[in-house]
Amino acid sequence: MPVRIGFFGCGGIAGAHFNALSQIPEAQPVAFCDIDLSRAEAAAGRFGGKAYTDWKQMLDTEKLDALYVCVPPHAHVGAEEAAAERGIHLFVEKPVARTLEKAKAIESAIAKAGVISSVGYHFRYMATTQKARELLEGKTVGMVTGWWMGGLPGVAWWRVMEQSGGQFVEQTTHIVDLARYLVGDMTEVYALMTNRKLHKEVENYSVYDVGAVAVKFANGVIGAIHNTCLLNMGWRVGLDIVTPDLIVETDWGSVKATEAGKVTTYQLSSNPYLEEDKVFIHAVLTGDRSAIRSTYADAVKTLAVTLAANESVQTGQPVKVEW
C-alpha cells in the first residue's frame, strides 16, 4: 500500500528527501508546493505528480497520507496545523519554527489530531551517533564541547536574522540536538555572539557570524557550543563528550574513542536521510512510532535552547530554558 506524500517546500533540503524517498518502494510523492513554481514543477516532473504554489489548494485538492514541510524557519504559516486537522502525518525539517509560540501551536495541533510526527534531525540517524551512544552506555559524562565552524550558506533568507534566527537557531541546532540526544536536556544557557561584519559583499546580512554558548544540562553536565559562518572554507562540525575514562569525539563520518593508552577510530558511513525517511514511512504504514528518534514535541525542546541563546545575547544574562 503506497504512502501518498505531499511536499511544502521543494528547495535544497527537500532534494535530500526526494533522493531518499525514491529508494523506498512504499513512498509515493504525488504533490509539490513551492513559492517558486519551477521548483515544484521540477519535482512533479521527476515523480509524475502535480505542482502547486498554494499549500492550501494542495491540501484541499490532494488525498495525502503524509506531508513533508521543508521551508525556512519564518515560513511556517499554518500548513502543519491544517495537515494535522486533516489527519495527515507530518515530517517537518528543522528548526521547526522561528518562534517558540508558533512551535507550541503546531505541537498542540499535532497532539490534538494524534498524527505521527518526525523532525529532520538527521544526526540522530547517523551510524556515528549510534556508535557514540553505544560507547557512552553506563558512562558518567562531565562535559561536552561542540562546533559548527564554516562559511555562509548561499540562500538569502539564511543571512537575515528575522527570517532564519541566525546560525545557532538554523544550523548549529544540529549540534544542540545531538548533545541533547547523547547527554540529556539542557536547562540554562549563557551566550556571547556578534557580527564581525567581514562579509562586506553580502547584502541584508544581519545574523551573528561568531558565537560561543555555555550550556547547563539537567543532569549537571556542563558544556560549550561554538559556531561561526565567517570562514571562506569549511572546517569543523562535531561534538566531543568527556567522561573520566573515555573521550568520545564525533563528526560527519567517524567516531574517535580515547582511553588511557588507547585511541580507537571508527569510520562509519550511512545515509541518515534515507534512514529517517524509512522510519517515518514505516510509522505511517504501521502506526508504530517507536523507531522515530525526533518527534515534533522533542524538537521543540531543541528550538527552545537555541532561542534562549539568542535571548541571552540580547539581555547579557544567563537564560533558563523553557518549552
Residue 164: its pLDDT value, please? 98
d(Cα 123, Cα 143) in Å, to the nearest integer?
20
Q: Do domains 3-122+273-294 and 126-269+304-320 have the same CATH topology?
A: no
One digit per residue, the tens of pLDDT, for the chain of length 323 reads 899 999 999 999 999 999 999 999 999 999 999 999 999 999 999 999 999 999 999 999 999 999 999 999 999 999 999 999 999 999 999 999 999 999 999 999 999 999 999 999 999 999 999 999 999 999 999 999 999 999 999 999 999 999 999 999 999 999 999 999 999 999 999 999 999 989 888 999 999 999 999 999 999 999 999 999 999 999 999 999 999 999 999 998 999 999 999 999 999 999 999 999 999 999 999 999 999 999 999 999 999 999 999 999 999 999 999 98
Question: How is domain 126-269+304-320 classified at the architecture level of CATH?
Answer: 2-Layer Sandwich (3.30)
Which residue type occupies 99? T
In terms of Cβ atoms closer than 10 Å to its own Cβ (0-12, 13-18, 19+), residue 187 is middle
Residue 252: its pLDDT value, please? 85
d(Cα 116, Cα 114) in Å, to the nearest integer?
7
Question: How is domain 3-122+273-294 classified at the architecture level of CATH?
Answer: 3-Layer(aba) Sandwich (3.40)
Q: Is 150 helix (H, G, I), strand (E, B) or coil?
A: coil
- From the list 194, 191, 190, the residue with the least C-alpha distance to 207 is 194
Map grid coordinates 561584519 to a residue: 197
Enter the DSSP assignment of 171.
T
Map grid coordinates 560507547 to a residue: 135
β-pairing, 3-8 vs 27-33, is parallel
In terms of Cβ atoms closer than 10 Å to its own Cβ (0-12, 13-18, 19+), residue 45 is exposed
Which residue type occupies 10? C
CB atoms within 10 A of CB 114: 9
The domain locations on the chain are 3-122+273-294, 126-269+304-320
Residue 98: its pLDDT value, please? 98
DSSP string for residues in 267-316: E----HHHHHHHHHHHHHHH---TT-S--HHHHHHHHHHHHHHHHHHHHS
β-pairing, 236-242 vs 143-149, is antiparallel
DSSP string for residues in 21-64: HTT-TTEEEEEEE-SSHHHHHHHHHHHT-EEES-HHHHHHHS--
Enter the DSSP assignment of 253.
S
d(Cα 264, Cα 275) in Å, to the nearest integer?
26
Map grid coordinates 515544484 to a residue: 40
